[in-house]
Structure 1
């Protein structure tokens, strides 16, 4: 729900600031205290989302016998928003994962000895700070903020947006999860929605991994309804949502209204289409098949990809047409150095060629303050798409391709400083030539690390069939 609250606060940027500050005063906060030794800040925004099963207050109906017994979590997700705020990845950590948990302070103030334990024990025994410390030690990804959601709060959020459509392949009668519905499609309210995301054995294959996939699909549908369903333009609905959201969550003390508005401003162009859900790759834990452990090297490679801000893309849905995509291997690029720094064009050309672009020429241009991407006027039809393919690889910033006369400057054929040529023999290239002029503000080429093939068919996005997680 952290991503949902962030998106909705875009509306608060536009007006009603004083009211939202008043509303925000009711928010429960808790400081992040994990010590000074933490991963570096990369410019990405990483928000930890945990679901609390506390039975206090309005949550007593979900287990009155456990009132006063603290709180546990079955849901651990990390929302990663790229530094240039053009894509978001929702990473789920299976609760049954056996991992090395570092030494932490327990909920009672005593020191918890580090060791190999189930990942959700970090929260159960040490609370949110032990969970953050554990995830940072496992991923080397710095967690900037956290959002904790309880049962009653989750229901309030779903009720405030008018429910979410789900799909059931069979009748479900799960009294423990409080979910009783017939087969087919249903719009579920808060109580039913909570049962739908909590139930484990009544849907899918009964595993926690199956439940995670269902939760990810559900959250992408929530975000789609928030961004596409008119919530941001309906003051009454917006107010109901914010009131429910604030009652639903506990956040870190650094996530005040000003910080949330700052984040909201930065993600205004991000929609549900850019949100991808994925689960950390796992394999059965040898000593207990009911548990799992991270699959290596796939998990390590995946965390590296996230740290380097690599897009996580889903395999196309069978039978569903998609807009043609310009692949890097189809794009011819001329790289011109306008920074005044010697050798910059060749350096950038090598980085682009390593990612598959066909670099044809490198050269120099008159010093310019801004980086630009150009295509010839005659290529007005295809130029923007080919230019966007180059723009998409620029770190922290996307420059829109410009139509016009490309710079006719002295350049030379590109020769890679590595042994491999840029273009493959016999490669057919008939698209427009794109000219990248590197200005003094050059943001750099984004690092590209391959997402493991084993994860491609496990990505959830806004196009994922809502029935998938229930089969």
Structure 2
């Protein structure tokens, strides 16, 4: 029998409890570490995948020297930006051909927008350049080779003969505006971007029944995806009574509606949609050498973080029917020179150019004009109808 009394019985050994707690904490820490490593690994491979999607960029061969407005710092982050955005209308590849043109593999810039971002990033405006405008195309330097210019040709022939590089040089030569970056998006990439956000809402004023070009769209407010979205922004025989002019307005409105969708909580709160959208973008773009990585594109996107959607406007360069062929082609008017100088001087558009502009916060693919717009309701309705938008 033990000589110890009950009070002398040793207490349970505490080290066992401490070991248990240590084991629990080690498990928690290890689990967190595994989750962290897994997250980092996923982010790395996703990021690497996006980077692998982007082809090495080209160095822009400039036609003009960069000049800065008075008082603007020489630091890149403190300077205004000019970005030339192009939509490639190559018909090669499944889903790219909708009108029977250019099936030989040649390309033309179906959509061109010169985007100017102000030095203080408080506002931006995109200027649509009609593909059917008649211009004198300058000589272009492509990979050290000279591509001869040509007078009296359509603007989009620059892309046909020399791709993005020649288009940038053509814009610089014609406008005097220094282009900091360029970005080209192909048709299939456009469709993938729209599908990644589950479609974009538009308002179509009338039914489109165009068997010749295989385009069929219902009238009314609706969400378009895939090929229907592409058909909508490219259709020029039913919705656009003014041809290329109306189509540009419709493209501006669609871009505004898509921007709204991308920045909506429905998209930003869902990593899967964000991933799909960025994968679509990086898989279908061609850029200059200053934008050819996810990091560089992210840095560019951050330049817009303080720019409200209502401060991003879309307009069209001042144009008129071409006297030589008024039913088919266009010409830039003298007012265009004033617009180019405003961009060079980093000035806001002013009422003379914002009248009838479309803001990036416009909804349902329709126009949103400034509050002080003096146009009559009848004029607004005419513009909207001409652009193939709901009145």
Q: TM-score, normalised by structure 2?
A: 0.74
> Which whole-Å CA distance do the structure 1 matches of 2:216 and 2:210 have between them?
6
Compared with structure 1, are the counterparts of its residues 217 and 61 closer, same or farther at alpha carbon in structure 2 (3 Å cutoff)? Answer: closer
- For structure 1, the 5+ residue unaligned runs are 1-14, 313-450
1:460 aligns with 2:355: no
Match of 1:82 among 118, 123, 132: 118
Match of 1:470 among 356, 367, 388: 388
Compared with structure 1, are the counterparts of its residues 271 and 465 closer, same or farther at alpha carbon in structure 2 (3 Å cutoff)? Answer: same
Aligned to 1:276: 313
Compared with structure 1, are the counterparts of its residues 310 and 200 closer, same or farther at alpha carbon in structure 2 (3 Å cutoff)? Answer: same
Q: Is the 8 A contact 1:90 1:276 kept in 2?
A: yes
SS of equivalent to 1:261: helix
> Which whole-Å CA distance do the structure 2 matches of 1:176 and 1:241 have between them?
32
Q: Is the 8 A contact 2:98 2:214 kept in 1?
A: no
Deviation at 1:158, TM superposition (A): 0.2
Aligned to 1:127: 163
Compared with structure 1, are the counterparts of its residues 64 and 110 closer, same or farther at alpha carbon in structure 2 (3 Å cutoff)? Answer: farther
> Which whole-Å CA distance do the structure 2 matches of 1:91 and 1:164 have between them?
22
Deviation at 1:61, TM superposition (A): 5.0
Q: Deviations over 1:270-294 (max 9, x none)?
A: 2422210000001222111122111
> Which whole-Å CA distance do the structure 2 matches of 1:203 and 1:31 have between them?
37
1:282-321 equivalences under 5 Å are 282-289=319-326, 290-296=328-334, 298-312=335-349
1:47 aligns with 2:83: yes
Compared with structure 1, are the counterparts of its residues 156 and 257 closer, same or farther at alpha carbon in structure 2 (3 Å cutoff)? Answer: same
Deviation at 1:77, TM superposition (A): 0.8
Q: Is the 8 A contact 2:256 2:365 kept in 1?
A: no
Q: Deviations over 1:9-41 (max 9, x none)?
A: xxxxxx946632442122124413424743435
Q: Deviations over 1:110-167 (max 9, x none)?
A: 5313433221111112211111011111222111111111111110000001111111
Task: Tell which deviates more after alignment, 102-111 or 461-470.
Answer: 102-111
Deviation at 1:239, TM superposition (A): 0.5
Match of 1:201 among 237, 252, 260: 237
Aligned to 2:47: 20
More helix by share: 2
Compared with structure 1, are the counterparts of its residues 60 and 215 closer, same or farther at alpha carbon in structure 2 (3 Å cutoff)? Answer: closer
> Which whole-Å CA distance do the structure 2 matches of 1:177 and 1:160 have between them?
26
SS of equivalent to 1:55: coil
Deviation at 1:221, TM superposition (A): 0.7
SS of equivalent to 1:57: coil
1:241-256 equivalences under 5 Å are 241-255=277-291, 256=293
> Which whole-Å CA distance do the structure 2 matches of 1:41 and 1:132 have between them?
19
1:330-349 equivalences under 5 Å are none
Higher relative contact order (CA 8 A, sep 6+): 2
> Which whole-Å CA distance do the structure 2 matches of 1:115 and 1:222 have between them?
37
- For structure 2, the 5+ residue unaligned runs are 1-41, 70-78, 367-383
1:41-440 equivalences under 5 Å are 43-59=79-95, 62=98, 66-105=102-141, 111-175=147-211, 177-255=213-291, 256-289=293-326, 290-296=328-334, 298-312=335-349
Compared with structure 1, are the counterparts of its residues 123 and 61 closer, same or farther at alpha carbon in structure 2 (3 Å cutoff)? Answer: closer
Q: Is the 8 A contact 2:201 2:224 kept in 1?
A: yes
Deviation at 1:187, TM superposition (A): 0.6
* Aligned-pair Cα RMSD in Å: 2.6
> Which whole-Å CA distance do the structure 2 matches of 1:207 and 1:90 have between them?
20
Count of residue pairs the alignment pairs up = 317
Compared with structure 1, are the counterparts of its residues 226 and 201 closer, same or farther at alpha carbon in structure 2 (3 Å cutoff)? Answer: same
> Which whole-Å CA distance do the structure 2 matches of 1:25 and 1:302 have between them?
38
Deviation at 1:197, TM superposition (A): 0.3
Task: Tell which deviates more after alignment, 284-293 or 235-244.
Answer: 284-293
Q: Is the 8 A contact 1:77 1:92 kept in 2?
A: yes
Q: TM-score, normalised by structure 1?
A: 0.62
